[in-house]
Amino acid sequence: MKTLEIEFTQLVKEYKSTIYTVCYMFSEDPEEVNDLFQEILVNMWRGFGSFKGRSSVATWVWRVSLNTCISGERKKKPHQSVPLSLNFNLFDSTGEDDWQIQMLHRRISRLKPFDRAIVLLWLENLSYEEIAAIVGISVKNVSVRLFRIKEELKNMSN
């Protein structure tokens, strides 16, 4: 195996869960998730040889994964919106909270692809600086967009 192929294989092993996290944020259908995963790998392979290291490898993986899923999402028809309250404990496993978590996931899936990417990164506990680097906007813009996204999620109707 060539050195580049070995490095790429190692990269995929290291960031497999990150890639799948992005895929599952954009689809719940296992077949579609696998298709997205494969498409991300193809896009990563195409850009791997020219990756200059201007950002961290993790940032590059997030960016390629999100851009691939956002591009795929734009090809689909728009979703309808549904509201949700964000007042619940994610760590409490009561039936009501499970329902709220599912509702939150459905609402997030109805956001515009770029906003969905920002929320996903925020839910992954990335800093505003890291989110800004991954999605290519300013830190201030991340802050403003997250505020607006949270308001949008709260105001969605059933």
Q: What is the CATH number of the domain that holds 33?
A: 1.10.1740.10
Q: What is the mean pLDDT of each run of 10 residues along the chain (158 residues)?
A: 86 94 88 93 91 87 92 67 48 59 83 91 91 92 94 81
Give the closest residue to 113 by CA, choosing from 21, 27, 8: 27
The two structure tokens encoding residue 143: 């802050």
The whole-number pLDDT of residue 17 equals: 93
The whole-number pLDDT of residue 115 equals: 93
Q: Do both 108 and 147 map to the same domain?
A: yes
Q: Do both 40 and 14 map to the same domain?
A: yes
Task: Give the global pTM.
Answer: 0.67
Q: Do both 93 and 109 map to the same domain?
A: yes
The whole-number pLDDT of residue 84 equals: 46
Give the range of the structural domain holding residue 18, as residue numbers without chain letter: 1-76
Rounded distance between C-alpha atoms, residue 105 and residue 90, angstroms: 12
* Beta strand extents in the chain (DSSP E only): none
Rounded distance between C-alpha atoms, residue 9 and residue 23, angstroms: 19
Q: Do both 153 and 128 map to the same domain?
A: yes
Element (H, E) at 3: helix 3-26
The whole-number pLDDT of residue 66 equals: 92
Helix, strand, or coil (residue 139): helix
The whole-number pLDDT of residue 155 equals: 86
Q: Do both 72 and 91 map to the same domain?
A: no
The whole-number pLDDT of residue 77 equals: 57
Model pLDDT for residues 69-96, shown as the tens digit of each residue: 988 887 765 554 444 445 545 445 555 5
Q: Do both 50 and 104 map to the same domain?
A: no
Q: Do both 91 and 67 map to the same domain?
A: no
Say which residues have a Cβ less than 8 Å from residue 96's Cβ, sequence separation at least 6. Answer: 88
Residue 138: give its domain's CATH number.
Answer: 1.10.10.10
